[in-house]
Structure 1
Amino acid sequence: MKRLGFIFLCAIVGAVSSYYAQPFVDQNSDVILIIITVFTVFAGFLIAIITIIGDPGLIPSGSWRIAEGRRNQMYQRLSWHVVLFTLYLLTIALLFVSVILEKALCEHQFWRLWIERAYLFVGITSFLFTFALPSALMEMQQARYDAEIERRRSEVGIRPDEES
């Protein structure tokens, strides 16, 4: 429920911001260059994170059932990162469409206006989603450490409900 509220809030802020920011972005090549640069860096960084976190070598040892359970859990967590990556690429794609069609749509202000609002909406919303990324990564690392600690404790015969 908390995540759904965060998504809804980001989408509302993205929609309102894109509506009011569009006049300041209209045919502003500096803003377009900054947005493309930022989202390209975000996309590259996120691919690196997905690759590192999804590395099967980081699965703690144990039975295949434990590994399978952790795989499904990791897949669910990483699916949000894949959605975020897709939104970054969609922002860049909409920007390219906007730049390419700028000359063709000079007579059709309506379409240019909505393409600009669309890339601003997706860009602002996905940028706001990015603020949740550090805590999600920290949770994943915490779960890994907890699993490793439990594995080491079980190696020396300490049950999960016992204190050292």
Structure 2
Amino acid sequence: MKNSQGQISSLAFGVVAVAIGVVAGWQGLDLIHDNDDAREVIVTVFSILAGFLIAIMTLLGDQSVLPGSWRIAETQSKAIRAKLTRQKWLFYCYLVTLSLIFIHTLIRTKLPEAAIWIERFYFGFAATSFVLSFKLPGTLMAVQTDRVDAVIAARRGSASKLDRS
């Protein structure tokens, strides 16, 4: 039941993030059109977030620090895979945002009408990605608490084996 509620909560959060991105892309053109400072801030923020996200994905994928038997690692692998998949898609959102900004920079003088639509798209992707990024600290905390719980379970298992001896 708890997992299903968590999935619904995550889905609702994702829907809200996409809705914010759509509104930002559609209504926020005045905020970013010909605003080089805003574009630089977006590029800087998403470059930093992309690096942070890679660090989280590295922590998630590092199975060498999982204590206990292969059974413990196997039971956690599905959850880890799901978290990695979500982080992968968020990383793609960052890359799409940065790619759209790059394309905008290339075409804005030659194709000003297309550049306006690219601005809308990158601002929408930036807003969505930024909102979705608020889950990153929770993901990092969940990874670390899962590892602590696994260490405790492994030590508890070792202690009970010693008690039986």
- CA-CA distance at 1:53 after TM superposition: 2.6
What whole-Å deviation, never above 9, does each CA across 1:1-42 have from its counterpart, x for those lacking one? 111100001111111122221122112211111111111111
Identity level (%) = 36
Conservation of the 8 A alpha-carbon contact between 2:93 and 2:125: yes
- CA-CA distance at 1:129 after TM superposition: 0.3
Count of aligned pairs:
154
The alignment partner of 2:109 has SS state of: coil
- Per residue, is there more helix in 1 or in 2? 2
Conservation of the 8 A alpha-carbon contact between 2:61 and 2:80: yes
TM-score by length of 2: 0.87
Alpha-carbon RMSD across the aligned residues, in angstroms, is: 1.4
Matched, 1:90 2:93: no
Which residue number in structure 1 is paired with residue 58 of structure 2? 51
- CA-CA distance at 1:65 after TM superposition: 3.0
Matched, 1:156 2:159: yes
Which residue number in structure 1 is paired with residue 82 of structure 2? 76
**In 2, Cα distance between equivalents of 1:84 and 1:35:** 15
**In 2, Cα distance between equivalents of 1:43 and 1:30:** 20
For 1:142, the aligned partner's letter is T
Give runs of aligned pairs for residues 52-67 of structure 1, distance below 5 A: 52-62=59-69, 64-67=70-73
Which residue number in structure 1 is paired with residue 39 of structure 2? 32
- Where structure 2 has 5 or more consecutive residues not aligned to the other structure, the ranges are 1-7
TM-score by length of 1: 0.88
**In 1, Cα distance between equivalents of 2:128 and 2:79:** 25
- CA-CA distance at 1:98 after TM superposition: 0.6
Matched, 1:125 2:132: no
**In 2, Cα distance between equivalents of 1:156 and 1:38:** 47
**In 2, Cα distance between equivalents of 1:71 and 1:24:** 43
What whole-Å deviation, never above 9, does each CA across 1:36-87 have from its counterpart, x for those lacking one? 111111111111221123112111121x233222222211111111111111
**In 2, Cα distance between equivalents of 1:11 and 1:155:** 47
- Where structure 1 has 5 or more consecutive residues not aligned to the other structure, the ranges are 159-164
**In 2, Cα distance between equivalents of 1:103 and 1:23:** 18
What whole-Å deviation, never above 9, does each CA across 1:100-122 have from its counterpart, x for those lacking one? 0101113xx2x222211100111
The alignment partner of 1:157 has SS state of: helix
Q: Stretches of 4+ moved more than 2 A in 1?
A: none
Give runs of aligned pairs for residues 100-119 of structure 1, distance below 5 A: 100-106=106-112, 109=113, 111-119=114-122
